Chains A and B, each alone.
Chain A
Amino acid sequence: MFRVSSIEDLKDLFEIVSRDVDKSRLYIVICAGTACQASGSNDIIRVAKKYILQNQLLDTISLKITGCHGFCEMGPFILTEPQGAFYHKVSTENICRIIDAVIANDYVEELLYTDPQTNEKYYKQSDIPFFKKQQRTIFSMNQEIDPIRIYDYITNGGYKALGKVFSKLSPEQVLEEVKVSGLRGRGGAGFPTGLKWEMLAKQSINSGKYIVCNADEGDPGAYMDRSLLEGNPHIIIEGMIIGAYATGSNEGIVYVRNEYPLAIKHLIIALRQVRDIGLLGENILGSGFSFDIRIVKGAGAFVCGEETALIRSIEGKVGEPRQRPPYPVNKGINGNPTVINNVETWANIVFIINLGASEYAKTGTKGNSGTKIFSLVGKIKNTGLVEVPMGITIKEIVYDIGGGPPGKAKIKAVQTGGPSGGCIPVRKFDLQIDYDSLAKAGSIMGSGGMIVMDENTCMVDVAKYFMNFLKEESCGKCYTCRKGTQRMYEILDDISKGKGTLEHLDLLEELALVVKDTTMCGLGQTASNPVLSTLHYFRDEYERHIIQKRCDAFVCKELVGAPCQAACPVGTEAWRYVAHIARGEYEQAYIAIREANPFPSVCARVCDHQCEEHCRAGTSGGDPVAIRLLKRFITDRIDPSRYKPKRTTVIKKDAPQVAVIGAGPAGLTSAHYLSLKGYKVTIFEAEDKPGGMLFCAIPSYRLPRETIKKEIVSLLDENITLKCNTALGNDITIDQLFNEGYKAVMLAMGAHKSRPLGLENEDADGVYPSIEFLKAFNLRNEQLAKGRVGIIGGGNSAIDAARTALRQKDVISVTILYRRTREEMPAFAEEIEAADQEGIKIQTLVTPTKVITTNDFFSGLECINNELGDTDSSGRRRPIPIKGTEHFIKLDTLIVAISEDSGIDCIGPARSSKIEVTDWNTVKIDQNTLLTSRPGVFAAGDVVTGPNTVIQAIAAGKKAAEMIDHYIKGEKMDQPKKHILPQIYVEPFVVELEDAWQAERIETPRKSIEKRKRNFAEVEVTISDEEARREAQRCLRCDLEFTQPQYIEKECITTEGK
């Protein structure tokens, strides 16, 4: 090997190496970072090598195996040079095609990176949004060099900075450069590097000074130091040599954790190469300066990242921090002055020297110069390592580079700085990322971990996770850190199990502050951050756990029980009836459904099935169990009369009377349960038949009228009197009802008014609010839609209106106009899909601007196109009109379905009876008791919430019945909440392993499009006996954890043991 012993030699080396570079040579660059290796890049390398050798392509194309490129989500991936194409998720099957394409200077189109949202294809890596918005100063080198070849590093400008330092700069000048650059320690605390170095340089001790590279990266979810060491070890070595030269130290140590075998391997190889070439060792480049680096492997204690603990670990003692001062720069390894810097800090040095300090300082903000590498992980589309200039906002990183959330769940917070950091909520995403503002927000920069959390992340659980980590990783010396983290974990664990109290929260906060105050080292002083920041920003979530006994993210197992049951507003034990179906016990299954829900057949058709959204079979990566279809199967099979509801009280002659206004799902439910509780109930309905929204709004092809009627009949009994054609305000008043002796009144009138567009001519003939349109048809069979029909909106009522319109006789075509994209439509996905199948056009990203009329008749719509802009507070991207895209759409009928509110018809009578209403035209109630502002008057359903799902109305009706019961009996209404865990044990059905592998979610069976398109027969059909049982057997049986006999026994033993 060429050995350099002077500056001239080094220049010669650069010369020789650069002469060999052939810029036009074809390269296949394969990422072999740890993440890509895990997703199979080693196999790809093997196949590529074999292919090149077999086809004798050695002279035409070369392989380059590099470290991590950062886009780990898309691994393993391949770059081609000099084309610059980027192929992602490459497999061994298609690597050969890529090689052929590169040789032919062509692209393999279908393997190129495609944006999942816009479907745009990218030919160049640099155009991909993930890369485009980064500033990859340090990290871009990773994809240029093979980490085990020093010449690769040198051809890419490596050791130039070293040459510059040794030929032109004195140690003082190097110090000055680093100081001027404003570089701050990248390990997390952000101490100015130049200042630290200067202090070391000033130490006049002859026994030696140390510089240390701290590669003890231990934060969960952070791996940027690892990727740097693995992908570019020479940049660290070069930085350390320059640092040693500037500070006059002669021994360097890289403290790297033993869990990073690839990093250690690459570092050992690189160190040997540098020594061989003569840039490490005695008398470097003839300057008389000697320096060498050795590796110390850490045994994996998190606390050894703290500098005093790290020093003790290097000395061979137990990694335990000690009091500072004396600081390591005065008294470090073996009592000698020591400077410790993070991996990334050392890498930055090379760029400061190459660019010049003032040029370097132009990146970033004042006081926070340069770039920072973050490892962006968690609930985010583009997981990976990103390098950004300091001062960028969190929003830019999360949404522009990270691509936002991977699924429908909204992003809630980011956690920065690992276990010592804190959580920053989404409303603070405009925060600039730098050391000071992060600290102000209650978090820290840390080494650069950034964990994105969405609605499915429970903040109590996050704090608990980090406390569990810290209680194990604290060194245990300081009593407050050791015991404090244990106690904080204990309290958090209690809260997550529903055993917490509000006093616990105060105690937790008090304890956290003391732990922060009284511990010796950085670990303890920041250990409270996860608790304090989540308490600060997400106290309501803690309170939900304590008061409501609910974990909205469905994470805390002891509160959730079976997610399907916890997700159901009426608490249906979905697991129980699914288990019975799996065993073929259909009648028991029906009873399980009916016990919780008085409208099983209705819900089997139109429920928004929150149970499926939270089903563990779905959230753990597969498809959820088709619970709604199973319910449909059972309700089609078993007659409602098979269930005899239990009466809790025998009706007496003088039973108290309750009036219910409105015979919709909320009203009927509360009447039913009140009757069971021993009350005489009168229901007043404005229309001529009961059913409310079930009749008015839901079309019969989704919910056959027979089904509703049958279900309602099963609920009415001798205690319930139904008075139709009696509207509140016209025929009766609340005062009147109380005078007639009713003890309580329940308002459940629903929401019957569509919200207007707010455009001129909206009242022209041919423009209908959706509710009016649906009511006219469903109640009076009037067919209002004619010709070309346009529907504005993207919710369920828009789809209902569209599909109803399509089935009317004078309709030519139906188009839905929606202002955002299809993915953001609030309607059920399966409804949108069905509408699509039936031939309804869905035009997205348009907003109507003008309603055009001809002779007072509606004749068309002027619209403007939108593009998606910034994300709004709901986490969705805002539609922004594009100027100049106004266009005319010819239509004959327009149906407006943007939203409904309760409307003056309902609210008017309420208001005149001294009942407070909200600004959104809904009745104002106390959420816990459902009481309105007038004693004895309760309200539930859409009249309170605005348009909502059927199951929510049923749940509210059920709760109202309970509250009215408490009220009339004079009991306390606001009772403490209890969480309900699965209790009944249903023996699991044993599935053959082979069948279990093949189990896939059943598709919703529908009538063929031809058969259903133009009539009102029910679209969905029921599934067969065999299909139902197979689907039910897919259930993971989350309930068994709580109901299985062994589990209960084990619990008893452990509690007795204590």
Chain B
Amino acid sequence: MITLQINGLQVKVEKGTTLLEVAKFLGFPIPTLCHMEGLSPYGACRLCVVEIGERSNAKLVSSCTYLAEEGLKVRTASARVVKARKMIIELLLASSPQSKTIQDLAAAYEIRQQRFKQEYEDCILCGLCVRMCEEQMMAKAIGFRGRGENRSIGTPFDVQAEACRLCGGCMYVCPVCSLRCTYNEPEKAICGACTNLSPPCLDKEQFDDMMCYMDPCVACEITKD
């Protein structure tokens, strides 16, 4: 057993437990997009960062891949962690605003605008589908290709893999393409109506044509009255 401290709480966990698992067990919320029980941890989305170590040695690590260590002191929501998470969500929003999962996250972290150039990307390369295909469906039909800005997910030479059984597991786990916010977005607006008490669509005329995932959403119902 390993003893460690998480948000000031002393806990004993088994060797090989990740920090994310510890936090979840204790009920400390940590957002993540690339983690799923039953799939191996990957550490791609960086949302699950937590702060470990003290003073000048303090650093952020991804809790999904970091194993519990004896005497480790973990902070799951320090100012540094929250600041980093907010920036990551802002980046996500700037690239994939049509994902409901991301919109909800943004609302939960009270992000009201993003400051980058708006993009509409269907993939955040979290790799859930790749691991789903490989580890649960035993197919290995898709994988990562290229590096840096040219990284993408697909099959070799874009030819459908024979191993693919069209099971749809990859789509099922996708945090970006399966749950879509379908509003007609004015530049840089963030909906988040589903979890946000004061959704922006209430006071902005240009949202007239908005199609919300929650259709009919609570906010819209209120305005209709």
Interface residues of A (CB under 8 A from B): 301, 303, 318, 322-323, 325, 470-480, 482-487, 490, 503, 507, 510-511, 514, 517-520
Which residues on the B side are within 8 Å of A476 (C-beta)? Answer: 125, 144, 146-151
Complex CA distance for A507 and B117, rounded to whole angstroms: 12
Complex CA distance for A323 and B44, rounded to whole angstroms: 11
In the complex, are the beta carbons of A472 and B148 less than 8 A apart? yes
Complex CA distance for A511 and B90, rounded to whole angstroms: 10
Further contacts, 5 of them, CB under 8 A, given A480-B88, A510-B87, A517-B84: A472-B149, A474-B148, A476-B125, A480-B87, A483-B91
User: Is B83 an interface position by the 8 A CB rule?
Assistant: yes
Residue of B nearest to A510 (CB): B87
Interface members, chain B 114-128 (any A CB < 8 Å): 115-117, 124-127
Complex CA distance for A1042 and B91, rounded to whole angstroms: 33
Residue of A nearest to B49 (CB): A518
User: Is B181 an interface position by the 8 A CB rule?
Assistant: no
In the complex, are the beta carbons of A517 and B80 less than 8 A apart? yes
Interface members, chain B 77-122 (any A CB < 8 Å): 80, 83-84, 87-88, 91-92, 94-95, 115-117
Residue of B nearest to A477 (CB): B44
User: Is B61 an interface position by the 8 A CB rule?
Assistant: yes
In the complex, are the beta carbons of B115 and A507 less than 8 A apart? yes
Chain B window 27-45, contacts with chain A (Cβ cutoff 8 Å), 1 for yes, 0 for no: 0000000000000001111
In the complex, are the beta carbons of B46 and A518 less than 8 A apart? yes
Task: Report the 8 A-B pairs with minimum CB-CB distance, sorted nearest first.
Answer: A476-B151, A323-B65, A514-B87, A472-B148, A474-B148, A518-B46, A518-B84, A480-B46
In the complex, are the beta carbons of B60 and A471 less than 8 A apart? no
Shortest Cβ distance from residue B163 to the other chain A in the assembled complex, whole angstroms: 18
In the complex, are the beta carbons of B148 and A318 less than 8 A apart? no
User: Is B66 an interface position by the 8 A CB rule?
Assistant: yes
Known contacts A487-B116, A490-B116; A519 and B148 CB within 8 A of each other: no
In the complex, are the beta carbons of B44 and A471 less than 8 A apart? no
In the complex, are the beta carbons of A479 and B87 less than 8 A apart? no
Say whether chain A's binding surface is mostly helix, strand, loop, or mixed: helix
Shortest Cβ distance from residue A43 to the other chain B in the assembled complex, whole angstroms: 39
User: Is B67 an interface position by the 8 A CB rule?
Assistant: yes
Shortest Cβ distance from residue B86 to the other chain A in the assembled complex, whole angstroms: 9
Interface members, chain B 134-153 (any A CB < 8 Å): 144, 146-151
Which residues on the A side are within 8 Å of B76 (C-beta)? Answer: none
In the complex, are the beta carbons of B87 and A482 less than 8 A apart? no
Complex CA distance for A472 and B88, rounded to whole angstroms: 20
In the complex, are the beta carbons of B88 and A479 less than 8 A apart? yes
Known contacts A487-B116, A490-B117; A514 and B88 CB within 8 A of each other: yes
In the complex, are the beta carbons of B147 and A475 less than 8 A apart? yes
Which residues on the B side are within 8 Å of A479 (C-beta)? Answer: 44-46, 88, 91-92, 124-126
Q: Which of A471, A490, A514, A517 contacts B148 (CB 8 A)?
A: A471
Shortest Cβ distance from residue A1024 to the other chain B in the assembled complex, whole angstroms: 54
Complex CA distance for A474 and B127, rounded to whole angstroms: 16
In the complex, are the beta carbons of B83 and A514 less than 8 A apart? yes
Interface residues of B (CB under 8 A from A): 42-46, 49, 59-62, 65-67, 69, 80, 83-84, 87-88, 91-92, 94-95, 115-117, 124-127, 144, 146-151
Which residues on the A side are within 8 Å of B91 (C-beta)? Answer: 479-480, 483-484, 487, 511
Complex CA distance for A725 and B130, rounded to whole angstroms: 88
Q: Which of B60, B66, B80, B146 contacts A323 (CB 8 A)?
A: B66
Which residues on the A side are within 8 Å of B149 (C-beta)? Answer: 471-472, 474, 476, 482, 485-486
Shortest Cβ distance from residue B186 to the other chain A in the assembled complex, whole angstroms: 17
Complex CA distance for A490 and B91, rounded to whole angstroms: 13
Shortest Cβ distance from residue B10 to the other chain A in the assembled complex, whole angstroms: 22
In the complex, are the beta carbons of B60 and A483 less than 8 A apart? no
In the complex, are the beta carbons of A475 and B44 less than 8 A apart? no
Shortest Cβ distance from residue A464 to the other chain B in the assembled complex, whole angstroms: 14
Which residues on the B side are within 8 Å of A473 (C-beta)? Answer: 147-148
Complex CA distance for A511 and B44, rounded to whole angstroms: 17
Known contacts A479-B124, A487-B116; A520 and B43 CB within 8 A of each other: yes
In the complex, are the beta carbons of B84 and A325 less than 8 A apart? no
Which residues on the A side are within 8 Å of B44 (C-beta)? Answer: 477-479
Q: Which of B42, B61, B62, B151 contacts A482 (CB 8 A)?
A: B151
Which residues on the A side are within 8 Å of B60 (C-beta)? Answer: 517-518
Complex CA distance for A445 and B120, rounded to whole angstroms: 39
Q: Which of A323, A483, A503 contacts B62 (CB 8 A)?
A: A323
Which residues on the B side are within 8 Å of A478 (C-beta)? Answer: 43-44, 46
In the complex, are the beta carbons of A325 and B148 less than 8 A apart? no
Which residues on the A side are within 8 Å of B67 (C-beta)? Answer: 325
Shortest Cβ distance from residue B120 to the other chain A in the assembled complex, whole angstroms: 12
In the complex, are the beta carbons of B43 and A475 less than 8 A apart? no
Shortest Cβ distance from residue A381 to the other chain B in the assembled complex, whole angstroms: 35
Shortest Cβ distance from residue A321 to the other chain B in the assembled complex, whole angstroms: 10
Complex CA distance for A210 and B43, rounded to whole angstroms: 27
Which residues on the A side are within 8 Å of B115 (C-beta)? Answer: 503, 507
Q: Which of B43, B59, B61, B88 contacts A477 (CB 8 A)?
A: B43
Shortest Cβ distance from residue B27 to the other chain A in the assembled complex, whole angstroms: 24
Which residues on the B side are within 8 Å of A301 (C-beta)? Answer: 147
Complex CA distance for A482 and B45, rounded to whole angstroms: 10
Residue of B nearest to A519 (CB): B46
Complex CA distance for A550 and B151, rounded to whole angstroms: 35
In the complex, are the beta carbons of B150 and A472 less than 8 A apart? yes
Residue of A nearest to B151 (CB): A476
Between A and B, 23 residue pairs with Cβ closer than 8 Å are A323-B61, A323-B62, A325-B69, A471-B148, A472-B150, A473-B147, A474-B148, A475-B147, A476-B151, A477-B42, A477-B44, A479-B45, A479-B91, A480-B46, A480-B91, A487-B116, A507-B115, A514-B84, A514-B88, A517-B60, A518-B88, A520-B62, A520-B65
Shortest Cβ distance from residue B84 to the other chain A in the assembled complex, whole angstroms: 5
Shortest Cβ distance from residue B153 to the other chain A in the assembled complex, whole angstroms: 11
In the complex, are the beta carbons of B46 and A475 less than 8 A apart? no
Shortest Cβ distance from residue B20 to the other chain A in the assembled complex, whole angstroms: 12
Shortest Cβ distance from residue B155 to the other chain A in the assembled complex, whole angstroms: 15
Which residues on the B side are within 8 Å of A507 (C-beta)? Answer: 115-116
Residue of A nearest to B64 (CB): A323
Residue of B nearest to A494 (CB): B117
Residue of A nearest to B18 (CB): A323
Shortest Cβ distance from residue A177 to the other chain B in the assembled complex, whole angstroms: 30
Complex CA distance for A862 and B42, rounded to whole angstroms: 79
Complex CA distance for A218 and B70, rounded to whole angstroms: 37
Complex CA distance for A735 and B125, rounded to whole angstroms: 73
Which residues on the B side are within 8 Å of A323 (C-beta)? Answer: 43, 61-62, 65-66
Shortest Cβ distance from residue A274 to the other chain B in the assembled complex, whole angstroms: 35
Complex CA distance for A511 and B89, rounded to whole angstroms: 12
Complex CA distance for A318 and B144, rounded to whole angstroms: 9
Residue of A nearest to B45 (CB): A479
Complex CA distance for A303 and B60, rounded to whole angstroms: 21
In the complex, are the beta carbons of B147 and A303 less than 8 A apart? yes
Which residues on the A side are within 8 Å of B124 (C-beta)? Answer: 479
Complex CA distance for A671 and B186, rounded to whole angstroms: 51
Which residues on the A side are within 8 Å of B87 (C-beta)? Answer: 480, 510-511, 514
Residue of B nearest to A487 (CB): B116
Residue of B nearest to A472 (CB): B148
Which residues on the B side are within 8 Å of A303 (C-beta)? Answer: 147
Which residues on the B side are within 8 Å of A517 (C-beta)? Answer: 49, 59-60, 80, 84
Which residues on the A side are within 8 Å of B45 (C-beta)? Answer: 479
Known contacts A318-B144, A323-B66, A510-B87; A482 and B116 CB within 8 A of each other: no
Complex CA distance for A510 and B95, rounded to whole angstroms: 18
Complex CA distance for A420 and B88, rounded to whole angstroms: 21
Which residues on the B side are within 8 Å of A520 (C-beta)? Answer: 43, 46, 62, 65
Complex CA distance for A487 and B117, rounded to whole angstroms: 9
Which residues on the A side are within 8 Å of B146 (C-beta)? Answer: 476
Which residues on the A side are within 8 Å of B61 (C-beta)? Answer: 323
Complex CA distance for A520 and B41, rounded to whole angstroms: 13
Which residues on the B side are within 8 Å of A322 (C-beta)? Answer: 43, 65
Which residues on the B side are within 8 Å of A485 (C-beta)? Answer: 148-149
Complex CA distance for A299 and B69, rounded to whole angstroms: 36
Shortest Cβ distance from residue A483 to the other chain B in the assembled complex, whole angstroms: 5
Which residues on the A side are within 8 Å of B150 (C-beta)? Answer: 472, 476
